[in-house]
């Protein structure tokens, strides 16, 4: 999927510095794809069909700006770093560990390159600043955990970080869904995407209101980076899979944020919104099954059936 998306971004990029980062990202994705494919081949494992050249039209008009493509690459690099570190941790076989180790190093380099260009272009979204603590302090009473009633304590640095990151990912996802909804061909998938835009808008409002109440800056939105093109650069299958994959990443982010937000009102927001996007992800999976696009992952043998 990444190869298809990056080929399109590379073909439509106008800024040469951003195009260079996109092409580096494409090289990383192609190598990772090749390395995993070779391990599967050597073991006689069925290679997933995934996506092919039929799922991307590199000649389609620009759907998203270069700035969006660059931020997208950085976001996908962050997902890659988390995914590959977890995969490396649970892997034992030397060649598999080497595969994930190489992928991790390449993805770290991709994050570095994308961050440098974002800074050079003046479009890097700097997180909010907070005053540095001058001494160690300890929580005095249970009011540190309160949030619904009485006086609420100021938001912590970690709570700010999670809210800010989740606003960025929601804003990127919303813009991507907006673009996809303009070009998708299937009516039921378009309806699904429109619903996703509404969910993102609501969740951005929730996170933004918390930060604004604390007089903390919020990140900019990406809606203006979607063009007016209605010609699809990707297949409906790829666009639906892409959205469902991003939701899965979002669920992970919300889970981390929930576990590191002591203030009860913030934790309650995450719990409520988490259930909402989990249901949305399930509906996306049902659409993939309906259209015959969901490849079944390997599973344990059905011993009862064998008996």
The CATH number covering residue 14 comes to 1.20.1260.10
Q: What single-letter DSSP state applies at residue 269?
A: H
Which residue positions in the chain have pLDDT lower than 70? 147-150
Do 112 and 175 share a domain, yes or no? no
Q: Count the domains in the chain.
A: 2
Do 197 and 307 share a domain, yes or no? yes
Do 156 and 108 share a domain, yes or no? no
pLDDT at position 268: 92
pLDDT at position 133: 87
Owning domain of residue 175 = 152-307
Do 225 and 171 share a domain, yes or no? yes
Do 179 and 287 share a domain, yes or no? yes
Q: Where are the alpha helices (DSSP H) in the chain?
A: 2-12, 16-43, 66-90, 94-120, 157-183, 187-213, 236-259, 264-290, 303-306
Residue 45, token pair as written in the block:
């494992």
Nearest to 260 by CA among 151, 159, 110: 159
pLDDT at position 176: 97
pLDDT at position 149: 61
Instruction: Report yes or no on 130 lying in a domain.
Output: no
pTM here is 0.91
**CA 42 to chain CA centroid, nearest Å:** 31
Place of tokens 């959205």: 243
Do 206 and 301 share a domain, yes or no? yes
pLDDT at position 275: 94
């Amino acid at each position: 999927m990444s190869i298809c998306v990056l080929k399109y971004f590379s073909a439509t990029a106008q800024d040469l510095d951003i195009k260079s980062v996109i092409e580096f990202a494409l090289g990383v994705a192609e190598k990772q794809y090749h390395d995993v494919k070779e391990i599967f081949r050597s073991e006689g494992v069925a290679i997933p069909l995934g996506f092919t050249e039929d799922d991307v039209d590199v000649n389609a008009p620009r759907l998203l700006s270069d700035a969006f493509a660059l931020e997208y690459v950085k976001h996908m690099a962050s997902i890659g770093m988390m995914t590959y570190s977890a995969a490396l941790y649970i892997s034992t076989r030397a060649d598999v560990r080497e595969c994930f180790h190489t992928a991790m190093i390449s993805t770290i380099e991709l994050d570095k390159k994308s961050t440098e260009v974002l800074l050079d272009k003046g479009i890097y979204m700097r997180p909010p600043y907070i005053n540095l603590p001058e001494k160690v302090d300890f929580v005095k009473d249970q009011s540190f955990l309160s949030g619904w009633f009485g006086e609420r304590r100021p938001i912590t640095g970690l709570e700010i970080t999670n809210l800010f990151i989740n606003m960025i990912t929601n804003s990127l996802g919303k813009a991507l869904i907006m673009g996809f909804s303009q070009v998708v061909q299937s009516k039921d998938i378009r309806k699904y995407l429109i619903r996703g835009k509404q969910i993102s808008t609501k969740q951005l409002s929730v996170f933004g209101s918390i930060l604004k109440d604390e007089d903390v800056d919020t990140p900019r939105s990406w809606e203006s980076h979607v063009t007016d093109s209605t010609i699809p650069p990707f297949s409906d299958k790829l666009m639906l899979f892409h959205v469902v994959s991003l939701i899965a990443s979002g669920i992970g982010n919300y889970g981390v944020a929930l576990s590191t937000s002591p203030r009860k009102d913030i934790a309650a927001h995450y719990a409520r919104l988490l259930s909402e996007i989990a249901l949305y992800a399930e509906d996306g999976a049902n659409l993939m099954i309906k259209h015959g696009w969901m490849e079944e992952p390997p599973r344990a043998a059905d011993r009862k059936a064998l008996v």
